Structure 1
Amino acid sequence: MGSRNLVRTWDVLPSRGYSTAWVVLAEGRLTARGRAVGLVPEPYWVTYTLETVDAYVTSRLHVTVDTETSTGILDLRNDAGRWTVDGEHRPDLDGALDCDLGLCPLTNTMPVLRHGLHRQPGTAPHPFLMAWVSVPGLEVSANEQTYTHLARAEHGARIRYESGDFRSDVDFDEDGLVLDYPQLATALTR
């Protein structure tokens, strides 16, 4: 297969900002670096790096958030199912395969690629435990999410995302990247 280098920029609705990711997809792995700017709840700047191991399982997410008055740094790691946040073990996250960086459409990609949800019509709902990271606060919590393939489309697929009372039917492209995530983000580059 080789590797594919992709760049995506999204208009992020809740933050009234933008997010750009430079992504490398290669042999069941994803690495990325990204930047985002938001205006809500206050102006902030996010910089992150994301690394996965085989089957697109998150191994590390390093995030820096800058605001007018502070800089926050998060080092989230997964070592064979044992998660640490800034070096401290977090047993509530153990068993999660993925991180989910708040307001970042890229982190919806890993479970989609792992299960081929952007290519397989008629698959059953897939429940996931995620290590969810709030932005701009960088608080980390366990979050249950479900992804369900709804339909193939000209661009790729439509997949239903659910977490708690929240539900959105998200369009993904053939690479497994978000095109349109109602209520969250729309791709400006494809």
Structure 2
Amino acid sequence: MVTSRVITWEVMGSQGYETSWITFAGGTLRARGRAVGTSPQPYWISYELDTTDGWVTRRLRVTAETASGIRALDLRHDGEGRWTADGERLSAVDGALDCDLGLCPLTNTMPVLRHGLHLASGQREFLMAWVSVPDLTVRPSRQTYTHLGRTADGGGRVRYASGSYRSDLEFDADGCVAAYPTLARRLTTA
């Protein structure tokens, strides 16, 4: 079954907005999105995200434009746990299954869907290939997701933790972020 969604978030973390066109097909996700922010500096982002079965990142292509110029990143996962950025090996994130594009609520979807954490009890720890915005630097990030409970609309609440940072996110039934306190809140969905 193929499902398509368009979601727009207000991104308080960047003082901006993001819209993502998302297609779910079986256990895969394809998305393209655009974001504009003013913090930490004014920027525009365009991205394309593809996953394999089980919502494992295959490729993230990102372009960022700031006053100082345009940057691009082609981040790829080989399916065996190895990553490259623009063709260069990234051994620091070996073993990660997912990317996490900074200030982007969409990239919280993959680990939550893979383990059904918006629907059922559980806690999982992940290593992520975290991409900072707008400089597009890739770093390892240890993250924990913990199911907190279901919501009336068929989704769920999940606690996200990384280092000393914690936030209780709300996901809809499809596994997309509806509310991410201090970072983003969904404005529209179609």
TM-score range, shorter chain: over 0.9
**1:57-85: CA deviation from partner (whole Å, max 9, x where unpaired):** 00000000011230000010000211001
One-letter amino acid matched to 2:67: E
CA distance in 1 between counterparts of 2:40 and 2:91 reads: 30
Q: Find out whether 1:51 has 2:50 as its counterpart.
A: yes
Return the TM-score normalized by structure 2.
0.97
Whole-Å separation in 2 of the counterparts to 1:11 and 1:66: 19
Percent identity over the alignment is 58
Unpaired runs of at least 5, structure 1 = none
- Deviation at residue 91 of structure 1 after TM alignment: 1.0
* Structure 1 residue 166, shift from structure 2 partner: 0.3
Q: Which residue of 2 aligns with 1:152?
A: 150
List per-residue Cα deviations over 1:95-120 (Å, max 9, x = no partner): 00000000000000000110111111
Separation (CA, whole Å) in 2 of partners of 1:27 and 1:78: 20
Please list, as runs of the form range in 1=range in 2, the aligned pairs for 1:1-190 lying within 5 A after superposition: 2-80=1-79, 81-120=81-120, 122-123=121-122, 125-155=123-153, 156-190=155-189
User: Alignment partner of 1:48: what SS?
Assistant: strand
C-alpha distance in 1, partners of 2:13/2:91?
Answer: 30
Determine helix, strand or coil for the equivalent of 2:113.
helix
* TM-fit CA distance, 1:41: 2.0
Q: Provide structure 2 residue ranges, at least 5 long, that are not aligned to the other structure.
A: none
**Separation in 2 of the partners of 1:137 and 1:154?**
39
Distance in 2 of aligned mates of 1:94 and 1:87:
15
Cα distance between partner residues in 2 of 1:52 and 1:188:
25
- Equivalences, count: 187
* Runs of 4+ residues deviating >4 angstroms: none
Q: Which amino acid aligns with 1:157?
A: G
Deviation at 1:176, TM superposition (A): 0.2
Q: Supply the RMSD in Å over aligned alpha carbons.
A: 0.7
Provide the rounded CA distance (Å) in 2 between the counterparts of 1:44 and 1:70. Answer: 10
Name the CA distance, whole Å, in 2 between partners of 1:42 and 1:53.
33
1:173: how far off? 0.1
Deviation at 1:33, TM superposition (A): 0.1
2:25 is matched by which residue type in structure 1?
A
